[in-house]
């Protein structure tokens, strides 16, 4: 039983014994630094069931707890806050329990599995900064939910069909002169993306020509020969035209190879892949079933709709009058198909930008109305845009920040800052290059993941690679510092047995932070927020650095204290590595 569970039981007993009243819940918070104490019981909510002066109530409860709970050494009351001082022995015993636990904070999987969808790119362009946030969020949330005690399937749906894909294909066909990734030395996704940009350039030129010839802008956009050709190409693809399908397969193949390189460099992976070319026809049967159940209704023109007005939403079309599907149709069908493919899945998380908030409200509500119990466990991991100091990105105009270029730039930025600070003196060239990658990618991931997913981000590469403040490199550097302490301790033969009975206040503070790690994982999983893990790790590291500056570790004579402080430092490092692992961030052994 945890300390909070013990205290909850005893506070309820105190209320019953002292006031013959029953308390439903007990509210705790950390004790403010200006007061003595390790955990605080908030008295004010108790006034609903106990009438009286909060200071007097707190004092009486405190006396009861000191008498009945061995772990409580003393207490003080400040207004309506009961500050409890926990014995050193409690924290020493806690440390002994977890000292050799190499998976501390991580729960074994149980119950239904969860599917997490992220990335889901279009195959007409390379991954960019927006995809980076999506991938990092989805992958981290998957890792956190897995650590909280669930089996997790990581998946994506690749948007490999549609007019945008045909635009790239047509531009390559017209202007490519047989270029391939091999002949150009370009990654396949970059090569295809170049032709998407080329299409837009040529299309705009055609529009101008038509406007100059007397067409309105709207007419010119619709009648431009390139767009008409792209639309015809899409119709041929849907009809299974051999030549078009062969070109589609070839160019998509280039893109997939390019994506794989980016995913590997970014450090994310998937357990399964879905392709829109296979799923875009799904859902029609489900619409027919929904019509029979009365979930949907048919209009006079034959189109099928779902009326969600009583639920505070709108009417939503799910099938056009000509019988063709809309995006909602295939999303309904794909969700149902995923459960068929993975019957142990009890919920799904969709990592998609906040511009799709309404779409997912509708999708989840329709699935509930269709009677699927797992629809109660669907979640839209909505996130804000990523901006740069230079402004908004536009794929058609080729002004996006390419993910591969960004990863390379981060390593270069890490190199510049590291060299200026002299952080890596004495390293070989190869060691430095590997460290620059680890530092640069860690900086990128941490900068993005430390922010609440729903907030918009202004990404500043230089700021993210700083070695001070709330940054990835600062935390990585602290981890490497602890590894240096552990290596030195091994060299001089520091023992591993824990015989300490009393604690320095800084040791106690560190142990309190370590104790919070399992609960932080559970909360981050519940809230779908890697930011909770990131900022917990930063707080732990700040506390360790305060400990490091104020308490001698290896330079003391008392061997028991030395052994404890080395072991405590090692546990901090383990938690840092574990927490950063949940964020997909590596930590260097030396730095």
Q: Using CA atoms, how far apart are residues 41 and 178, in angstroms rounded to an integer?
A: 73
Residues in contact with 102: Cβ distance below 8 Å, sequence separation at least 6, in sequence order: 574
Binning pLDDT at 50, 70 and 90, where does residue 397 land? very low
User: Is residue 76 within 8 Å of residue 61, measured between CB atoms?
Assistant: no
Q: Using CA atoms, how far apart are residues 580 and 446, in angstroms rounded to an integer?
A: 9
Residues in contact with 289: Cβ distance below 8 Å, sequence separation at least 6, in sequence order: 370
Selection from 305, 300, 325 nearest residue 315 by Cα: 305
Beta bridge partners of 306: 316
Calculate the dihedral angle through the C-alpha atoms of 513, 514, 518, 520, rounding to the nearest 10 degrees.
Answer: 30
CA atoms within 13 A on the CB side of 205: 7
- SS (HEC) of 402-467: EHHHHHHHHHHHHHHHHHHHCCCCCCCHHHHHHHHHHHHHHHHHHHHHCCCCCCCEECCHHHHCCC
Q: Using CA atoms, how far apart are residues 384 and 378, in angstroms rounded to an integer?
A: 19
Q: Using CA atoms, how far apart are residues 367 and 372, in angstroms rounded to an integer?
A: 6
Binning pLDDT at 50, 70 and 90, where does residue 399 land? low
Listed in sequence order, the DSSP H helices in 450-516 are: 461-464, 472-491, 505-515
**Class of residue 206 by CB neighbours under 10 A (exposed 0-12, middle 13-18, buried 19+):** middle
pLDDT single digits (tens) 84-107:
999 999 999 999 999 999 999 999
Tell me: pLDDT of 392 over 80.
no
pLDDT single digits (tens) 539-578:
999 999 999 999 999 999 999 999 999 999 999 999 999 9
∠ CA 531-392-326 to the nearest 5 degrees? 80
Global pTM reads: 0.93
- Scan for tokens 């809230």, then name that residue: 527
Termini Cα distance of the chain? 39
Q: Using CA atoms, how far apart are residues 460 and 413, in angstroms rounded to an integer?
A: 11
Domains of the chain: 3-86 (3.30.1360.70), 162-278 (no CATH), 404-582 (1.10.730.10)
Name the pairing type of β-strands 304-307 and 315-319: antiparallel
Q: Using CA atoms, how far apart are residues 509 and 541, in angstroms rounded to an integer?
A: 12
What is the number of H-type helices and E-type strands within the chain? 22, 14
Q: Using CA atoms, how far apart are residues 308 and 314, in angstroms rounded to an integer?
A: 5
State the pLDDT at residue 398. 47
pLDDT single digits (tens) 237-290:
999 999 999 999 999 999 999 999 999 999 999 999 999 999 998 999 999 999
Arithmetic mean of pLDDT, 356-371 = 97
Least confident among 192-201, 255-264, 337-346, 389-398: 389-398
Instruction: Return left, alpha or beta for 39; rule: phi > 0 is left, psi -120 to 50 is alpha, else beta.
Output: beta
């Amino acid at each position: 039983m945890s300390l909070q569970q013990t205290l909850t039981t005893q506070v309820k007993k105190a209320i019953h014994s002292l006031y013959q009243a029953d308390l439903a819940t007990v509210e705790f918070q950390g004790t403010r630094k200006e007061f003595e104490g390790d955990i605080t019981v908030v008295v004010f909510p108790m006034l609903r069931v106990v009438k009286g002066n909060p200071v007097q109530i707190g004092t009486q409860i405190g006396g009861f707890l000191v008498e009945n709970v061995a772990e409580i050494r003393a207490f003080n009351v400040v207004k309506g806050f009961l500050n409890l001082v926990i014995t050193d022995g409690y924290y020493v015993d806690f440390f002994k329990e977890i000292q050799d636990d190499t998976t501390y904070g991580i729960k074994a999987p149980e119950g239904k599995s969860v599917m997490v969808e992220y990335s889901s790119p279009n195959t007409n362009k390379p991954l960019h900064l927006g995809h980076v946030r999506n991938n990092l969020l989805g992958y981290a949330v998957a890792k956190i939910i897995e650590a909280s005690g669930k089996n997790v399937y990581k998946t994506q749906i690749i948007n490999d069909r549609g007019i945008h894909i045909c635009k790239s294909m047509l531009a390559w066909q017209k202007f490519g002169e047989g270029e391939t990734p091999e002949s150009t030395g370009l990654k396949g996704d970059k090569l295809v993306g170049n032709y998407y940009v080329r299409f837009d350039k040529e299309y705009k030129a055609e529009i101008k020509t038509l406007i100059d010839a007397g067409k309105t802008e709207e007419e010119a956009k619709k009648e431009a020969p390139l767009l008409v050709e792209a639309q015809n190409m899409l119709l041929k693809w849907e009809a299974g035209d051999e030549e078009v399908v062969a070109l589609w397969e070839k160019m998509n193949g280039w893109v997939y190879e390019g994506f794989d390189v980016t995913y590997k460099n970014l450090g994310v992976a998937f357990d399964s892949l879905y392709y829109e070319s296979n799923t875009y026809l799904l859902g029609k049967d489900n619409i027919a079933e929904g019509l029979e159940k009365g979930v949907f209704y048919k209009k006079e023109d034959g189109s099928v709709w779902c009326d969600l007005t009583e639920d505070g939403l709108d009417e939503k079309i799910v099938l056009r009058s000509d019988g063709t599907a809309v995006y909602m149709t295939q999303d309904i069908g794909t969700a149902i198909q995923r459960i068929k493919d993975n019957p142990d899945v009890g919920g799904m998380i969709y990592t998609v930008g906040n511009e799709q908030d309404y779409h997912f409200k509708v999708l989840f509500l329709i699935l509930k109305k269709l009677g699927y119990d797992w629809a109660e466990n669907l979640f839209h991991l909505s996130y804000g845009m990523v901006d740069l100091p230079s402004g908004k990105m536009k794929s058609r105009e080729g002004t996006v920040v390419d993910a591969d270029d960004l990863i390379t730039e981060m390593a270069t930025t890490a190199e510049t800052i590291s060299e200026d600070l002299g952080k890596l003196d004495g390293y070989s060239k190869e060691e430095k290059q590997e460290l620059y990658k680890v530092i640069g990618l860690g900086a990128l991931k941490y900068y993005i993941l430390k922010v609440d997913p729903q907030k918009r981000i202004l990404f500043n590469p230089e700021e993210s690679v700083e070695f001070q403040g709330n940054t990835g490199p600062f935390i990585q550097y602290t981890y490497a510092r602890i590894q240096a302490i552990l290596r030195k301790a091994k060299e001089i033969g520091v023992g591993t047995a824990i015989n300490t009975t009393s604690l320095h206040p800084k040791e106690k503070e560190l142990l309190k932070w370590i104790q919070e790690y399992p609960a932080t994982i559970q909360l981050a999983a519940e809230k779908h927020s890697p930011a909770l893990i990131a900022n917990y790790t930063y707080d732990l590291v700040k506390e360790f650095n305060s400990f490091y500056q104020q308490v001698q570790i290896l330079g003391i004579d008392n061997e028991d204290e030395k052994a404890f402080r080395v072991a405590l430092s090692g546990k901090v490092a383990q938690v840092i590595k574990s927490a950063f692992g949940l964020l997909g961030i590596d930590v260097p052994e030396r730095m």
